[in-house]
Chains A and B, each alone.
Chain A
Amino acid sequence: MRVRPPKALRKSIWVFHLNTGSCNACDIEILDVLTPFMDAERFGVKLVASPRHADVALLTGPITRETLPKVVNALKAMPRPRLVLAIGACAVGGGIWHDSYSVIGGFPRLKKILEENGVIIDRVVYVPGCPARPEAIIYGLAVLIGLLKKKVKKEVKEAGKGEG
């Protein structure tokens, strides 16, 4: 099922790889996505060296206190619409560092800090996984640019209902 992508993303999307203190596993998976094997260039994805050229920031890591000002600056430099693909368990919810003293703990908390600094993020897509598979990253990109629809949904179950 194809969904029409938003206007700013109908052409090739350029991505900027933003490591915010991750363990490099997600970074290696991102490299995997760009190799001929998974070949994200089929969708026009190109890695660029500056956030000023990028449409999407591939954010990995739990955002350590050391990297926080740099991350805010890098995201500030991106042109609107500002899109972020939060890759890996660390970027989504803090991962195993979620309550550590030296990290901010995932993108949702960074978003609040960004809002305080006047940086608006137009769309975020979270890609869980530790590390996220290359296929999962491609799926996340497809969801971000509107090629595919998301599959997951919140589930609420009542215990002991099956037995009656």
Chain B
Amino acid sequence: MVKPILKLITVAKEVGVVTRKYPYESPLLTEEFRGKIEIDASICWGCGACVKACPSNALTIRESMDVMELVYFAGRCIFCGRCADVCPTGAIRVTKEFELATDELEDLEQVVIHRKVKCPICGKHFVPQPLEKYVCEKCAKGEIPTYMMVCPECRRKVGVKKMIRCKGG
């Protein structure tokens, strides 16, 4: 009866205390650990690459008349980090934050609001402002063609008109 207990005591002495005092000390996090993502609104274009890559639709785009919202709902996120991989600007950063417990679902939301560019011909709002700015910078060095700033529908109409004129209409 005494022998196994003595054996247990020796084993316990060798191992020591293993319990972590977590809420009162730092958690055990490795370097590769992925937690909640953080979107840097000042660099984000609103291109939507992260929305396409997200396997659980935690990142969604909410469209309205003149505003496009990129909504991140951490409650559905599986912390795979794919959005950070595909982000062309590096606006999405994977943090080590995992203490996300809350009693309201609203707290888990992160919203980035993008204002849309207005089309000078029809007055419709189409792409987010930073994305349009980037495309203008990349495609046309120096002068910006007039059809660059119009919405796809108007661009098509303008193009067709031009083509007809070229053919001798």
Instruction: Please give the residue numbers on chain A whose beta carbons come within 8 Å of chain B beta carbons, in ascending order.
Output: 36-39, 42, 89, 92-96, 98-99, 106, 108, 123-130, 132-133, 135-136, 138-140, 142-144, 147-148, 150-163
Chain B window 60-101, contacts with chain A (Cβ cutoff 8 Å), 1 for yes, 0 for no: 000000000000011111110000000000000000001111
Number of interface residues of B (CB under 8 A): 46
Q: Is B159 at the interface (CB under 8 A from chain A)?
A: no
Residue of B nearest to A96 (CB): B56
A159 contacts B98, CB within 8 Å? no
A150 contacts B76, CB within 8 Å? no
Residue of A nearest to B19 (CB): A39
A152 contacts B103, CB within 8 Å? no
Q: How far is the CA of A24 from the CA of B138 in the complex (A)?
A: 49
Closest A-B pairs by Cβ, 5 of them: A162-B42, A140-B101, A157-B41, A93-B76, A130-B78
Residue of A nearest to B133 (CB): A160
Q: Which residues of B contact A154 (CB under 8 A)?
A: 106-111
Q: Is B23 at the interface (CB under 8 A from chain A)?
A: yes
Q: How far is the CA of A160 from the CA of B114 in the complex (A)?
A: 8
